Structures are given as C-alpha cells and as structure tokens.
Amino acid sequence: MISFFRKLTWLMRRRRKEDELGEELRFHLEEEAEQRQTEGLAAEQARWAALRDLGSIASVQENTRVSWGWTTLEQLGQDVRYALRTMLANKAFTALAALSLALGIGANTAIYSFMDTLLLRSLPVQDPGSLVLLNWQAAGRGQDAERSPSIMHGVHTRSGSSYRDPQKGYIGGIVPYAAFELFRKDDSAFTSVFAHYQPSSFTLSVKGEADIASGEYVSGDFFRGLGVPAASGRLIVSDDDRAGAEPVAILSHSLSQSRFGGPAQAVGQSILINNIAFTVAGVTPPEFFGVNPGIAPDFYLPMHANLLFGGDIAGWYLAQNTYWIEVMARLRPGVSIQAAQATWAAPFRQWVESTATNDQERANLPVLLIREGGGGLDALRRRYSKPLYMLMTLVGFILAIACANIANLLLARATARRREMAVRLGMGATRSRVVRQLLTESILLASLGGILGLLVAYGSIRFLTLLLGNGALHSSLDWHVMGLAGALSLLTGVVFGLVPAIQSTRADVIPALKEVRASHTPSRFRVSLSQVLIVAQIALSLLMLVAAGLFIRTLSNLQSVQLGFNRDNLLLFQLNARQAGHQDAEITSFYTELQKRFNALPGVRIASLSHESLLNAGTGQPISVPGAERDSKTRLLYVGPAFFTTMQIPILLGRDIDDRDQPGSPAVVVISEQFAKKNFGEENPLGRHLTLGGRDPRDMEIVGVVREARYGGLKREVPPVVYIPYNQGSHKAVAEMTFVLRTSSDPLGFVNTVREIAHQADARVPVSNVQTQSAQIDELMGQEIAFAKLCSAFAFLALVVACVGLYGTLSYNIARRTGEIGIRMALGARRGSVVWMVLRDVVVFAAAGLAISVPIALATSTLVASFLFDMKPNDPLALTLAVVILLASALLAGYAPARKASRIDPMIALRHQ
C-alpha cells in the first residue's frame, strides 16, 4: 500500500507523472504494433489492431489515475475550478445570489450570537455546572401577588429579582440575611454558599475625579465559591465581610485599566466610594463580569461594607422578613439538584414558618426552589429571550426565502444549460458525477454568501447591541458564532442546490443536443417544484409583513400617547449630593443654589428639579384624605419650584410650587386632576388637607390642581399623583435629584456648561444620566422602535427576494412556453391576453400563498401580543395592508416578464422551436 506521503509527493509532481504515463502507453502501443507487423500486417493495420487490443488510451489513463488514489480530490479540484469559471461568467446571478444569502446568513448569525451569549453560554467561572440558585416560590393572590407574597411584609425589592412565573407561581430571587446564615450552617449538600446584593450606583472618586459607577456587595465566600482567581492582588475573603473590618474594594479589570492604567497599578490605591475611603485589594480577571449577564459591576465591596454608608441597614441583617440578598451555592461532587432540594426543603420550611406572624402569612409560605445557576441570574434572559426567539424566527424566514429564491433561479438557469448537461451525459458522465459538480457550484456560492454574511453579522451585532438592548446586551463573533455561519453556508448550499441539480440531470439528451425544446403542455392540475417554492416565499413574506405592520402600528400608538407636558427642548440630568457627603438640610440648600445658577444661564428659559423624572417615577406612600377611601394606586413626586411651569403641565386650579414653600413654612401639595376627582368629586379641593403617612405623618394643604401627565412610563395607566415640595418631604427623597432645564435651543449644547457649574459647586458631585426628554422617551420605546425597524427591514427584504424569485419563475416558464406563446400570437392572440395569461399565474400564486399564510398569521399573532400596545394581535388594518402590499408587489414583479412575453415575435418563436 502506497503511503500517504508518497501519494502527496505524486500529487505535487502531477505533470511529470502524467508525462511518464503517456510515454509508457505510447511505448506499449508501439511495441504491440511492431509485433503485429511481424505477423504480416501493414503498419497502419498493425497500429489499429494494437489500439483495439490495448483499448481506449483515455480509459487506461483514467483507470491508472484511479490506482493513484487521488481521483476524488482531483475531480473536486476540477469541479471547483469549473464552478469558479461559471460564477465569473454569470456575475449578475452570482452577485444576486451571494447578496441574498449574505443577508440571510448574516442576520441569522447575528441573532444567534446574542442567543449564544444570553441563553447558551455559562458563567466564566470554574465548573459552572455545579452552581445553583437558592430561590423560593409561592402561590400569589390577587394584585399583591404581582408584587410579593404576604410573607414578604418587610421586603426590600430590586427589579428583576422576583417575578411571576405562569407555571410555578411567584418566584423569589431574594431572601433575608437570616436565611443565608441558615444555608451556611449545614454543608452536607454544598461546598460553599455565598450571597450578593446589587445597589443602583455609587459616587466613585479616584485621584480627585468623581464619577458614577456601579457596585455590587458580595459575601466573603463569593469569589472562592465561584472559583474566580485574582488578576492582581487578592479578592474578598471572609475576614473582609464583617462589621468593623478594614474597608477594601475589588475593581473590575476594565475599571483598573481606565482609572489606573492596569491591574498591577490599581492594587493598594485608595479610592472614595460615596465619600468613604476604601483600599483596592485586588482586580478581577478581564473575562469575569459577575453573576448577572445584564450587569457588569465596576467594583465589588464586602457585604457588611454597606453599614458604612448609614441608614437603617443594620436592621436588615437582623430582620427575618426583610428580603434583600441573592444566594448561590456550589453543589458537592455527586450531589444533584434534586438531592439538594430534598435535603433543604424541610429545614427551609421550618425556618419560614418560624418567621410568620399571622394566619395570612402562614397561608402563603414560600417553598424552597433550587435552580441551575451555571448561567448566572436569569433576569436578562427573561427580558430578552422571547424577543430573540421571535427575531430568530423572522431571520429564519429570510434565509428560507433566500434559499427558495436561489433554487428558483437555478431552475430557471437550468433551461439555458440544457445543452451543456446533455453533452456531459452524452459523453458518458454519470448523473451522480454531474450532480456533484452542480452541488459544488451551489456550495461555493453559499460559501461566498457565508463570507459576506460574516461582514453583515459584524455590522448587525453592533447595530442590535444599541438598538435592541440599549447597551445591556453584548455579543461578538467568536468561534461558536462563526461555526454556525459555516454550518449555515454548507446547509443552504445543499438545500437550494440539490433538487435543481437532480432536475438538471433529467434532460432529454437527443432533443437537447439538437437544441430542440421539449414540448411543454401546461396542466392546471400539475404543480411544479418551482411553483411550490414561489408559493412558500409568498406565504412567508406575508407573515413577515403582518408582523411588521403590527409593530409599526404599536410604535405609532406609543408615539401618539398624550404626555401631558411638552417634551421639546428639555435637558435632564442627575446629581446625588448625599453620596458625595452632603447631609440633610445642607443638601436642600446645595440643590437650591444650583437651580438658581442653572436658571441664570443664557439660553435657559427656566429650570426645576424632582427626585425622579416623570416617566421613570414610581414612588408610593400612604396618603389619606378625610372622608375619602384610601387609594393604594396614588403615587408621589417630590418637585422643586416652578416644576409645572418648566414641564409646561397646565395648572387647572391654584398655583405652582414656588420659593415660598420652604422647610419652615406650611406644608403644601399640588394634586393631579385624577386625584382631585377621585377624592373630592366636583368640590373645589383648594385649601383642603391630606395626610402623608409613614413614620412621620404630615398634614399638608392642597394649593393647586394640575392636568394629568404621564407618570412611570408610557404603557401604564396614569395613576393619581400628589406633588410635594422636595424640601418639605422626607430626607430620603432629597438624595439623588433629576434636574430639568427648558432651553431656547438644542438642550445638548448646555451639557458642558452644566458639568462646569456642578464641578464648581462641588467637584465630588458628578453629573450623570444626561439626556434630552425626547431621548428618554425614545429609550422607553426602544424595544418597539427596534422591532418596528427590524421587522420592516426584514419584511421589505423578504418581499424583494420573493419578488425576484417570482420574476425568475415566470421568466423560466415563459422560456419554456416560447413556442406556445408564438403559436397563440400567430393565431391572432392579442398582447393584452398574453399579459393576462402570465399575470393569471401570479394571481394564482398569490392566492395560494395567502390561503396558506392568512390563517397562520391569525393563529400565531397572539404569540406577539405581549409586544403590542393599544391594539389586538389580529389587527384587521395590519393584515389588510400586508395583503395589499403583497398583491401589489407580486403583480409588479410579474408585469415585467408578462410584458416581455407579449412582445415575442411569432416567427422567431416558431423558428426557435
């Protein structure tokens, strides 16, 4: 047996081997001819006799090449070279097919990259498969169940930590600190138990430069339990997580790079977090982002470090009904989740029962739920998994339409290659050999589309990162994603190339060699593959048009929502003086002075402030009105002087909050029109009083009534709102404030001036979350804008590709029916009747596609109901517009070949036949 390397050497010396083979065959031929001459034959007769005995020289050469063992590889090389020549000879077809595939493969690759990051990838830690989340579940009741079960009467919640699951009821991701200590007492199921708590933001000051940064509190075993090593220095240990310990912080790799120049330079440095000094003990690895894929903290602090920032935090550690930390654990080797659940279910239930204080709480006790934790927290998955699955379905339709379109184009092109295929088959080529050669062309075409698709995917990933997730989602083209692109290229090459390749080899050899078209007798009952493909394209296109219509109408409904204030020329930004070290009354004077300075800026018409922006607000507090029932839906907003004038919210009765409303003056409020109607009916509420509940109840006089303004978002029902002067409210309300500047020109032109004024007032107080009011509204509609843009682009692309496929199919049919059309016109058929004959096929195709897709669209539209606003999933307007657009596009695509068919010269057509 000849070795591989010897074969490789032969392959490299191919030309020499061919020459040697030719010389050897000629030698044998001459020797045989000489032998025949000795037997008395003439020279010419002897040569022909030698050839007859030796056989075909080409056949002998081919059989000899087979013995070399490289025939398949050589044939592949021949197929590739021929395919490249064919693609270059048909540049328009190649460009169109490659572009269609690039868009389909690129879009699928981009969406898959996000799904891989969000749904499939594990945390970058040691053995993520053994990590579990220690959660609980409870059966909810009524409206309170949407927020928490009755046992959580002292809950301190965070967005995404707890949620409602349709199958399991209410799922809780946070537990009291006492429950965390309970889990740590018994190590029979876990090798380590660790906790973390994520606040919103901190003021971080490094070398005198203050900025807003995100931080996460972690227990002493957090990094050890995850198995995360330090990139530099050390990470948090148990001794750091105790009251009175030396304050230390662990920086993320990116923060150490941006603020210190690298991990090595950051260790040992002193930083200020909320005006408290911390020492940098270490830096995390660059690939570590925490345990929540949606939040990558800038730094980590020991859990008990939150005691340094004041407040009533100490009570959280002792209260058994204050749910605030998230707990994870690592299973012992050999212990399954089910075994751990069985081990801890009873102890957890006993502990929960001991915390219940009344029958209502005992009736709805949470039950331990141990879940897989290798992928980290699932808040981001719950938010984006359904949109990503929907987008993946849409881009899958794009790829399916592209494959069907190219298959149709290949079928149409096969008409022009009938003679070529007949010649190949007539010369003795097997059908399998020809099919392989045609498949090579298809796969090369798909590979070109895949390469271009990677470029499309790269741009799409960057676009989707901003459009779909507002920066919360991050993805990249790694080897997983590029592997999918390669697999899609190979699969699509086979899918759209196999059937046309097989059909091309079924040519009738004799008529094709004589360049005579096989007769074509259309039958209304016969359905060709090309027709099936075009109907499928039309059906899929309609589904995408309906989806685009639903999302465009949803976006239009959101954009037409009445805000109740003027969004134009408003600049929003936030300051947090408390985190910089300011205290209580001093904070009020600090914000008051800043408001005056902002008001004095040239180009600023008026400025005010509130403790939250209107559209992001959500503060509730007990409010009672004498003689009226208490309404739990009432919300609060702590505002500064001239707030309603700044926002241009109409004042219906009374006055705006102004400079006369000071901490020592009578407490006043302004109420919304809805609050006034619910509590006072048709009576004048001015001068009436209400009581603001809480630890320090306050009696407050109503001095104004304003028109309804959007509060807490665009989709929610507007609640009754009470507006309170921020300097007459609780000290907690006077912490982070949102300033509002109404300008006479572009608001963003004042950003640098605002930062300079804030820095002059106190360099420790950074300006954060700077944006215009219009940008904030667009951000709230980010998902709807993304879906409307993406689905519209996908639907347009699908429609164009389907129309190209329809055009190719009709052109293919007309090419086959040239003789028939010529006879019709020779017998007196008018051009209009020929046009209608072709367009009739278009109508049939469209009707078949609509008959398939309309019921599917009506049945599946409920799947996107959660993404819609102020409309029904089976919206008749969206469906009607989709049908009209599809029919118009199909007729437009069919008119060009129909017009071409009507201009066929009968004599030329008959001679062609």
Secondary structure of 456-513 in the HEC alphabet? HHHHHHHHHHHHCCCCCCCCCCCHHHHHHHHHHHHHHHHHHHHHHHHHHCCCCHHHHH
Residue whose C-alpha is closest to residue 622's, from 701, 689, 695, 674: 695
CB within 8 A of 620, min separation 6: which ones? 632, 634, 635, 636
Question: What are the tokens at 678?
Answer: 């619910």
CA dihedral 711, 717, 721, 727 (to 10 degrees): -30
pLDDT higher than 50, residue 366: yes
pLDDT confidence of residue 362 = 78
Residues 6+ apart with CB under 8 A from 824: 833, 834, 837
Residue 159 has pLDDT above 80, yes or no: no
Would you place residue 521 in the very low, low, confident or very high pLDDT band (cuts 50, 70, 90)? very low
- Specify whether the CB–CB gap between 807 and 898 falls below 8 A: no
**The predicted structure's pLDDT at residue 398:** 87
CA distance 163 to 142: 15
| Count of C-beta atoms within a 10 Å radius of residue 301 | 26
238-241 contacts, C-beta under 8 A, 24 or more apart: 240/281, 240/302, 241/302, 241/303, 241/304
User: Which of 15-29, 455-469, 629-643, 666-680 has the weakest average pLDDT?
Assistant: 15-29
Q: How far is CA 46 from CA 61, 572, 659, in A?
A: 22, 103, 124
Segment 420-448 shows an average pLDDT of 75
Give 576's contacts (C-beta < 8 A, 6+ positions apart): 201, 203, 212, 735, 736, 737, 765, 768
Q: Are 204 and 211 contacting, i.e. CB atoms less than 8 angstroms apart?
A: yes
pLDDT band (50, 70, 90) for residue 21:
low
> Taking the model in full, what pTM does it have?
0.80
Q: In this structure, are residues 190 and 182 in contact, taking their beta carbons and an 8 Å threshold?
A: no
**Which of helix, strand or coil describes residue 704?**
strand
pLDDT at res. 341: 95
Q: Could you give the CA distance from residue 858 to residue 873 in angstroms, rounded to a whole number?
A: 8
- If one compares 639 and 518, the residue with the highest pLDDT of the two is 639
How much is the pLDDT for 771? 96
| Least confident among 44-48, 85-89, 137-141, 440-444 | 44-48
Q: What is the dihedral of CA 614, 618, 624, 629, to 10 degrees?
A: 100
| Distance (Å, whole) CA 882 – CA 796 | 11
Q: What angle separates helix 431-467 from helix 418-426, to the nearest 10 degrees? A: 140
**For residues 11 and 791, what is the distance between their CA atoms, to the nearest angstrom?**
52
Neighbours of 182 (CB within 10 A): 19
What does the pLDDT read at residue 2? 47
Main-chain phi, psi angles of 176, to 5 degrees: -70, 160
> Is the Cβ–Cβ distance between 848 and 809 less than 8 Å?
no
Q: Report, as an integer, the average pLDDT of 268-291.
A: 94
pLDDT in tens, 655-712: 999 999 988 899 999 999 999 999 998 899 999 999 887 667 888 999 999 999 999 9
Q: Is the pLDDT of residue 823 over 80?
A: no
Pairwise CA distance, residues 289 & 514, whole Å = 70
Instruction: Classify 227 in phi/psi space as left (phi over 0), alpha (psi -120 to 50) or beta.
Output: left
The pLDDT, as a whole number, for residue 1 is 46
Max CA separation in the chain (angstroms): 139
Structure confidence at residue 596 as a pLDDT band (50, 70, 90): very high
Q: Are 704 and 654 in contact (CB under 8 A)?
A: yes
Mean pLDDT, to the nearest integer, of 68-96?
Answer: 73
In which band, very low, low, confident or very high, does the pLDDT at 144 lie, cut at 50, 70 and 90? very low
3-state DSSP assignment of residue 669 = strand
pLDDT reading at 523 higher than 60: no
Whole-number pLDDT of residue 519: 45
Check residues 75 and 98 and name the one with the higher pLDDT: 98
* Averaged pLDDT for residues 63-87: 68
Strand residues in 247-289 grouped as ranges (E) = 248-251, 270-273, 276-283
| CA-based nearest residue to 105, from 93, 95, 97, 116 | 97
Which is nearest to 209 in space by CA: 277, 271, 281?
271
Q: How far apart are CA 811 and CA 492, in angstroms?
A: 24
Give the three-state DSSP class for 329. Answer: strand
- Identify the CA nearest to 408 among candidates 535, 554, 306: 535
Average of per-residue pLDDT values in the chain:
82
Look up residue 820 and give its two tokens. 């028939």
Assign 897 a pLDDT band (cuts: 50, 70, 90).
Answer: confident
Name which of 304, 58, 118 is nearest 196 in CA terms.
Answer: 304
What confidence tens digit (pLDDT) does each residue in 394-414 have?
A: 888 888 888 887 887 777 676
pLDDT in tens, 699-755: 899 999 999 999 999 988 999 999 999 988 776 667 889 999 999 999 999 999 999
> Which stretch of 304-318, 337-351, 371-385 has the lowest confidence by average pLDDT?
371-385
From 111-115, 600-604, 670-674, the region with the lowest mean pLDDT = 111-115
- CB of 726 closer than 8 Å to CB of 691: no
Residues found in the chain: 913
Helices 57-68 & 14-38 angle (0-180, nearest 10)? 140
Does residue 212 surpass a pLDDT of 70?
yes
- Mean of pLDDT values over 456-473: 72
CA 306 to mean position of chain CA atoms: 35
In percent, the amount of the chain with pLDDT more than 90 equals 39
In this predicted structure, the answer to whether residue 151 has a pLDDT above a threshold of 70 is: no
Q: What is the pLDDT of residue 12?
A: 53
Share of the chain above pLDDT 70, in %: 79
